[in-house]
Amino acid sequence: MGMAVSLFLIAVGAILTWAVTATTNGLDVNTVGVILMIVGLVGLMLSLVFWSSWGGVGGFSRVTHREVYVDGTAPAPVDYGRRRRTTYVEEQPGPPAGPPL
């Protein structure tokens, strides 16, 4: 459920709770309005949580980019200072490859 649907449910629930004065047998319109508002609020909160975890806007983003300049020099590359693991494979001569005997 997106933010737009959540806001729509909140608006419909508020209208049913405070603007509608009709009465029916076996159905309380005010209770239906409150339920719709609660579902809309839960959906809105979940949308905001997932939106911020996927990137979102501004301060909600988990990815930050920061460049530090020291004495007017350019920033170091991102992987500067990390040790890289290098694997060397040495092949030794042996019998030619083929089906096992």
pLDDT digits (tens, 9 = 90+) for 37-85: 999 999 999 988 887 666 545 544 455 556 666 666 666 666 655 666 7
Q: Which of 72, 16, 10, 64 is nearest to 41 (CA)?
A: 10
Both tokens assigned to 50: 């997932």
Lowest mean pLDDT among 1-5, 25-29, 41-45, 59-63: 59-63
Is there a contact between 48 and 70 (Cβ–Cβ < 8 Å)?
A: no
Question: So what's the pLDDT on residue 54?
Answer: 62
What share of the chain in percent tops pLDDT 90?
34
Range 4-8 average pLDDT: 93
> Environment class of residue 79 by beta-carbon count within 10 Å: exposed (0-12), middle (13-18) or buried (19+)?
exposed
Task: Centre a 10 Å sphere on the Cβ of residue 31 and count the other Cβ atoms it contains.
Answer: 11
8 A C-beta contact, residue 14 and residue 29: no
